[in-house]
Every structure is written in structure tokens, then in C-alpha cells.
Amino acid sequence: MTFTNQVIKNIVKRVIKGQDYRIEVVNLINTDFLQFVIDFFKKIIKVKLENKDVVNWYKKEFLKNTLPPDEIALHAGLNMKTIHNMYGSSAKEIVIDAAYEHYDSLYEAISGFIDNNEDLTLMLTLKFNGVCVDLTINETLLVINTLAVKRAALRGGAWSAVGKTAEKILMKTICELYKIPTNNYEEKFVRDSAKKVSREVDFYLKDNEGKKYLCEVKLMGRGNPESADVIFARKSHIFIADTLSQQNKNQSDELGVVWVELRVANSYRRIKKAFDKYGIPYVDYDGGNLDKDLDMILNKIME
């Protein structure tokens, strides 16, 4: 899933203003999912009409090996990550074998469910441009399962993508808001050779002598303590999050980590504690016209 510049801008603005940003992500998930549903239904109509005499037309057309691996997996009710975790590979040959095996198992489970619920009647009728097709209960349940897998994949991808896109823009926006010189921060992904395990880090602030201070940004919910634990293990200097539990704050204080909980109104100003503590040059921001200033900064960053 790809976030548009406007969605990223909306997320960053809402976070800095102490508002919940999740509605932006949910709206994007809904839009992408509904578009997939429409496109998938159109394909089903076309495929079933072209295979009137084929009993298992779904398997014949939606699991054929000429399709991209991710589509084959999806149509069988799997996602690529699951296949890789199960088989240690996501090569196309592996995906095809896994998809066929899972599809046969799923079809058998659906048939058994129907046999045990003889009184259940379910039929999905699809109409498009005057053309109509009816799906049997078996076919309908297969389609519903595929839609459920797609929705879950979109949801997981969207929340993961937020961290890879909005968090860096958020930090750079705060730096611009306080007019921190560009040579006093690094907003790009870098490899930290000082760590035992090389990894992508969130953001560095630097004093005028070039000393770096690791700043971790996590747009996590309050019920996600694992993310905070990892941050403390990395010996971060600054911890910025959407929401923080009291335990997170206490841990940060004990370790000398400057924390900022952005969900609280105007709490972005707490970042000045980090600037002062680590000698980061900045110009104080009076919060005069935050909406206008954020629009100008985000347009500049993302132009």
C-alpha cells in the first residue's frame, strides 16, 4: 500500500496537533479494499461466463500458474508472508504448491461445513453492465475468504507503512518548526555500525560538535509496550510517540530518555527539553498559526 503525499501530510498534522491520526489510515484501507472488491467481482463475472461448463472454474482461472505469485496465494486464501514463514521461501514454485494444497484443504473444509448445515442457503448474485452470474454457496464462501485475506493484508501493510513513511516526515517537520539547521539532524535511513546488529534507525539529532543523539519515533498505541522495550534496549536518547503509558514515561525518566507524548495537546513543545539537554540549536516556536506553518513546512519537505 502506498500513502499519497496528502495522506502523509494529514497524518503528520494530526499527530503534531494532538489528534488521532488513525482515521487517515482506516480511510485509505477502506478505499483500497473497496476498489479491490469491485475489480475482483468484475473478474469473477468474466471468468464464470467464460467457463460455464467448468465445475471448478475458480481454481482453473484464479490459481493458474501464469498469474503473479501474490495473486495466486491470495486467491487460495493465503498471503505471501504466511507462505514464506511456512516453507522458508516465497519462490513462485513454492507459492503455487502451497496455494494448491491450501485451496484443496479449504474447499474440503467448506464442503464439510455445507454438509453439516444442510438448512443453510447462501447465494451471491453479481451484476455488471446487464450481465448477471450466480455463485453457489461453495463459490460464495471461497470469495468471502479471499476478501477477508485481502482486507487483513491491506490492514497489516497500511499500519506497517505508516512507520516507514510518516515517522521520518514527522521528525523533519518538528525540526523545521524549530528552525534546526539541516546539519544538526539526519532524517534518512542509515546503518548504525556502532550497534552489534546493523539496523535502520529512526532519526538522529546532532549538536554543533557532531555528536549524535538517537531519536526513536513510534506511532504506536498505548497497548503496545513491546515497541517501547525495544527502544530502551537500543539506548535511545529521545523517545517520541503518539501515546505513552505511565510505565513508559517512568522508564524513560529513569534512563534519562527525553519522552514526548504527542497525543496531549501542544505536547510537541516538550521536544525542547531534548534540544536543551543535548545542545541542539533551535529557535523557539510560539505556536502562532500552527495549521498554516505546518502546511508551509510539509509542502516544502514533500515538494
Q: Is the pLDDT of residue 193 over 70?
A: no
The residues pairing with 215 across neighbouring beta strands, listed in sequence order, are 203, 238
Report the pLDDT value the prediction gives residue 226, as an integer from 0 to 100: 52
Q: Which helix (H) or strand (E) holds 258?
A: strand 258-261
Report the pLDDT value the prediction gives residue 26, as an integer from 0 to 100: 92
Report the pLDDT value the prediction gives residue 199, as an integer from 0 to 100: 45
Cβ partners under 8 Å of residue 235, min gap 6: 214
Q: Is the pLDDT of residue 84 over 50?
A: yes
pLDDT tens sequence across 239-289 = 999 988 888 888 899 989 999 999 988 899 999 999 999 999 999 998 779
Mean pLDDT of the chain: 88
Q: Is the pLDDT of residue 105 over 60?
A: yes
Burial 66-100 (b: 16+ CB within 10 A, else e): ebebeebbbbbbbbbebbbeeeeebeeebbbebbe
Q: Is the pLDDT of residue 186 over 60?
A: yes
pLDDT tens sequence across 37-50 = 999 999 999 999 99
Domains and CATH numbers, the chain: 5-158 (no CATH), 179-284 (3.40.1350.10)
SS3 67: coil
Per the CB < 8 A criterion, the answer to whether 17 and 290 are in contact is yes
Per the CB < 8 A criterion, the answer to whether 189 and 167 are in contact is no
Of 155, 217, 164, nearest in space to 15 by CA? 217
Residues composing the chain: 303
Encoded amino acid at 118, one letter: E
Highest mean pLDDT among 19-23, 120-124, 190-194: 19-23
Report the pLDDT value the prediction gives residue 38, as an integer from 0 to 100: 96
Report the pLDDT value the prediction gives residue 203, as an integer from 0 to 100: 83
CA atoms within 13 A on the CB side of 293: 15
Secondary structure of 119-179 in HEC code, one letter for each residue: CCCCCEEEEECCEEEEECHHHHHHHHHHHHHHHHHHHHHHHHHHHHHHHHHHHHHHHHHCC
Residue 146 pLDDT class (50, 70, 90 cuts): very high
**Weakest-pLDDT range from 66-70, 99-103, 118-122, 223-227:** 223-227
Report the pLDDT value the prediction gives residue 198, as an integer from 0 to 100: 40
Report the pLDDT value the prediction gives residue 201, as an integer from 0 to 100: 47
Report the pLDDT value the prediction gives residue 224, as an integer from 0 to 100: 55
**Weakest-pLDDT range from 37-51, 87-101, 117-131:** 117-131
Q: Is the pLDDT of residue 194 over 90?
A: no
Report the pLDDT value the prediction gives residue 189, as an integer from 0 to 100: 57
